[in-house]
Amino acid sequence: MISTNDVRPGMALALDDGIFTILEYQHVKPGKGKAFVRMKLKNAETGQVLDRTFRADEDVPQAIIERVDHQFLYSDDLGFHFMNLDDYGQIALSTEDVGDAAGYLTDGSVVTLVMYKGTPIGVELPAAVELEVTYAEPGVKGDTRTGATKPVTLETGLVVQVPLFVEQGDRIKVDTRTGEYLTRV
């Protein structure tokens, strides 16, 4: 247990609704009445963000979250298979557990699995990944003045909007947080 006066952004709490990471923290002392703590929390399993208010000096259960680097090996009917880079143990996660990160995973890529009590609860990707364009429509010449974009399909099946000069076979960098094109590699 930890006091709400001692919590900081980045810490994890084990509340009744699940495991939450503190995004924002604000200690409020109104002119009349008792002080309270307002927090913006993100559910580690679902990604849902919500606001909670606690009394000042209230005890809340702290969750010890472990982040372990794993290498993505392959995906099949059983799910997505990862290998621990420290002890070479393998773990399989379902499509629901991996979520949107599946669109950025290529064989051999290194990701961080977020673990709570030895059970994976999430996948953290690097800020940007390099992927190959497997299908791209030809760009229309002369339409560069408006900053036009076109959809392309990447090696993972992800569809991203890119500038007209990107062609099939190019390697591009994609932001994993927003899913936007960053640059051609």
The residues near 106 (Cβ < 8 Å, ≥ 6 apart) are 72, 129, 131, 155, 156
Listed range (3-7, 138-142, 160-164, 178-182) with the worst mean pLDDT: 138-142
Write down the pLDDT at residue 137.
Answer: 87
Superfamily, domain 128-184:
Nucleic acid-binding proteins (2.40.50.140)
**pLDDT at position 142, please?**
64
Spatial distance between the Cα atoms of 11 and 22, rounded to a whole number of angstroms:
6
Rounded-to-integer distance, Cα 128 and Cα 182, Å? 8
- 106 pLDDT band, cuts 50/70/90, is very high
Nearest partner of 67 among 16, 111, 22, judged by Cα: 111
In the chain, domain spans: 2-63, 65-124, 128-184
Q: Which of 95-109, 127-141, 143-157 has the lowest mean pLDDT?
A: 143-157
pLDDT value of position 105: 93
pTM as predicted: 0.76
In sequence order, what are the residues at sequence separation of 6 or more whose Cβ sits closer than 8 angstroms to the Cβ of residue 117?
A: none
d(CA 42, CA 17): 11
Across the range 55-61, mean pLDDT stands at 91
> How sure is the predictor about 153, in pLDDT bands with cuts at 50, 70 and 90?
very high
Into which CATH architecture does domain 2-63 fall? Roll (2.30)
- What per-residue confidence (pLDDT) applies to 131? 94
User: Distances from the Cα of 44 to the Cαs of 8, 99, 110, in angstroms?
Assistant: 16, 12, 20
Q: How many CB atoms lie within 10 A of CB 28?
A: 11
pLDDT averaged over every residue in the chain = 89
Tokens (6 digits) for 161: 């909007």
Same CATH fold assignment for domains 65-124 and 128-184: yes
Q: Which CATH class is domain 65-124?
A: mainly beta
Contact residues for 104 (Cβ-Cβ < 8 A; gap 6+) = 125, 129, 131, 156, 158, 174, 176
CA distance 53 to 160: 39
Q: Report the pLDDT value the prediction gives residue 118, as an integer from 0 to 100.
A: 86
Between residues 144 and 173, the one the model is more confident about: 173
Residue ranges of alpha helices (H) inside the chain are 95-98
- Return the percentage of the chain with pLDDT > 90, whole number: 56
The pLDDT, as a whole number, for residue 72 is 95
- Take residue 127 and report the two structure tokens written for it: 């800020």
pLDDT band at 95 (very low <50, low <70, confident <90, very high): confident
Res 91: pLDDT: 94
pLDDT at 126: 93
